[in-house]
């Protein structure tokens, strides 16, 4: 039996300046997502959970918590940008040019802006991205720049974490 590893994320050597990665997944935001995130983060702005109040705002309806928008766009980008990362190093220029509403579906693409070897940790390097979240109409709802420490292919830190089974898996 051959054990096959899923190709999951890129190592430092795989990034090229100017490459654009489009996430293979989209994510539709529902009312529960927005309400739970708002409650979890203790955001008391009623624009996110009170429909009656939200009717009086310029949007006329509940708007998705911008923290949730940032978290979802980040999450959707991980498989392409930071699956093999050790740490986020910084976030810059976060902008929210269009609102996000319940029922919107988010998609993500990331542009490689910069790449350099780490001076203090030879097992990785630093990569910077510009990431944007798009809604189902192709409108940019979020854009930011992020710098991440990414392991190199020969780094030992991200290898060998799967536990050795006490017995082999058998066919049914």
Residue 6 lies in a domain: no
| CATH number, domain with residue 75 | 3.10.129.10
Task: List, in order, residues 6 or more apart from 137 with CB less than 8 Å away.
Answer: none
d(CA 62, CA 84): 36
> Looking at the domain assignment, is residue 160 inside a domain?
no
Domain that holds residue 107: 13-151
Query: In this structure, is residue 164 part of a structural domain?
Result: no
**Any domain includes 36:** yes
CA distance from start to end of the chain: 15
Residues 6+ apart with CB under 8 A from 159: none
Q: What's residue 161's pLDDT?
A: 80
**Considering the domain boundaries, does residue 54 fall inside one?**
yes
- The whole model's pTM is what? 0.88
Per the domain annotation, does 158 fall within a domain? no
3-state DSSP call for residue 155? coil
Model confidence over 101-130: pLDDT tens digits?
A: 999 999 999 999 999 999 999 999 999 999
pLDDT of residue 33: 95
Q: Which residues of the chain have pLDDT under 50?
A: 1
Q: Which residue do the tokens 């990034």 mark?
A: 15
Helices and strands (H, E) in the chain, number of each type: 3, 6
- pLDDT value of residue 124: 96
The answer as to whether 169 is a domain residue is: no
Q: What is the pLDDT of residue 2?
A: 52
For residues 93 and 144, the answer to whether their CB atoms sit within 8 Å is yes
| Structural domains counted in the chain | 1
Domain assignment present for residue 156? The answer is no
**Interatomic CA distance for residues 132 and 63, integer angstroms:** 19
What local confidence, expressed as pLDDT, does residue 6 receive?
A: 54
Q: What's the CA gap between 154 and 69, in Å, rounded? A: 34
Cα–Cα distance, 137 to 61 (Å, whole number): 19
């Amino acid at each position: 039996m051959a054990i096959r590893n899923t190709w999951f994320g890129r190592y430092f050597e795989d990034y090229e300046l100017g490459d654009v990665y489009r996430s293979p997944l989209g994510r539709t935001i529902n009312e529960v997502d927005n309400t739970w995130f708002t409650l979890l983060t203790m955001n008391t702005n009623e624009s996110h959970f009170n429909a009656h109040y939200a009717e009086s705002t310029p949007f006329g309806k509940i708007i998705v918590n911008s923290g949730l928008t940032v978290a979802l766009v980040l999450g959707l980008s991980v498989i392409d940008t930071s699956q093999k990362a050790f740490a986020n190093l910084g976030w810059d220029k976060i902008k929210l040019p269009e609102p996000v509403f319940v029922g919107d579906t988010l998609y993500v693409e990331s542009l490689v802006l910069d790449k350099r070897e780490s001076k203090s940790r030879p097992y990785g390097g630093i990569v910077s991205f510009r990431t944007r979240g798009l809604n189902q109409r192709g409108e940019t709802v979020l854009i930011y720049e992020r710098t991440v420490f990414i392991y190199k292919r020969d780094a030992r830190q991200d290898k060998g974490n799967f536990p050795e089974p006490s017995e082999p898996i058998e066919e049914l």
